Amino acid sequence: MKVAIINFSGNVGKSTVARHLLKPRIPEAEVVAIESINAEEGETQSLRGRQFDALQEYLQVADNVIVDIGASNVEELLAAMKRYRGSHTDFDHFIVPTVPALKQQQDTVATLIELARLGIPTSKIHVLFNMVDETNDFAREFEPLLAFLTAHPVAHADPACRMTANEIYGRVRRSGADLAALVADDTDYKAAISAAAGQAEKVTLAQRLATRRLALGVVPELDDCFVALRLSQEAKPSRPKASRAAE
């Protein structure tokens, strides 16, 4: 399966979607970051947007790829797809994350329009609602985008395909930890805190406990969001197993 994560706008969580939602749930998927600035670290590869022909070649031989397209490269990449007629068919799905901010919703609409102009069918374009605040009215927060999709149904947009605003992503990004590893962590943190020698160590352990609790809470949400994307029957949620030694 080849998936592109795309939006003209930045700050919609494309990298979070790639690394924490899709990669753990698409077997043996590799993340490729297309970004001129701030290239991804770790397991990801980085390509400049203008190297579209190299990306095309790679997509022909790879099995499972998640392409994280940086906002600064979207226009260039779409222009390349227009030049290489039919190249959009190299991707099985296009995921367009969006957030409640009005500018990002407007950019999302522009992204959906351009994808539709390329001839990509509705069934291959998926809107993902990110940074959702469950205390607010969902329909009101996303009213501009939902109104556009009602008038122009160019994408699959299931409100169940949502990721809430959660500090776990910031914690993981800062620490370099992995959500699955956090969930599988069997450390008895309460016992460790009681046995800790000093206050600083206790605070550090308490922070790790809080991070693990956040991870335990967000993984089921990610599973539900992935199911709502309806990418395929082959790619299924793989919820990490939590240890019985919870805390």
Inside any domain, residue 35: yes
Which pair of structure tokens corresponds to residue 83? 């030049």
Nearest of 35, 45, 29, 42 to residue 14 by alpha carbon: 35
pLDDT value for 177: 78
Distance, CA of 194 to CA of 201 (rounded, Å)? 10
pLDDT confidence bin for 242, thresholds 50/70/90:
very low
Inside any domain, residue 106: yes
Inside any domain, residue 203: no
pLDDT value for 232: 73
pLDDT confidence bin for 46, thresholds 50/70/90:
low
Global pTM?
0.86
DSSP labels for 81-136?
Answer: HHHSTTGGGG-SEEEEEE-SSHHHHHHHHHHHHHHHHTT--GGGEEEEEEEE-TTS
Q: What is the pLDDT of residues 51-86, one digit of tens each?
A: 788 899 999 999 999 999 999 889 989 999 998 999
Q: Does residue 219 contact residue 169 with C-beta atoms inside 8 Å?
A: no
Number of domains in the chain: 1
pLDDT value for 48: 60
Distance, CA of 213 to CA of 216 (rounded, Å)? 5
pLDDT value for 21: 96
Inside any domain, residue 189: no
Inside any domain, residue 190: no
Inside any domain, residue 129: yes
Q: What is the pLDDT of residues 105-154, one digit of tens each?
A: 999 999 999 999 999 999 999 999 999 999 999 999 999 999 999 999 99
- CATH code assigned at 143: 3.40.50.300
Q: Does residue 224 contact residue 132 with C-beta atoms inside 8 Å?
A: no
Domain that holds residue 159: 2-168+222-229
Inside any domain, residue 109: yes
Report how far Cα 205 is from the mean position of its chain's Cα atoms: 29
Does 233 have pLDDT greater than 60? no
pLDDT value for 148: 98
Q: Does residue 225 contact residue 158 with C-beta atoms inside 8 Å?
A: no
Does 93 have pLDDT greater than 60? yes
Inside any domain, residue 180: no
Q: What is the pLDDT of residues 166-215, one digit of tens each?
A: 999 988 888 777 888 888 889 999 999 999 999 999 999 999 999 999 99
> Which whole number is the average pLDDT over 13-40?
84
Which pair of structure tokens corresponds to residue 27? 């077997």
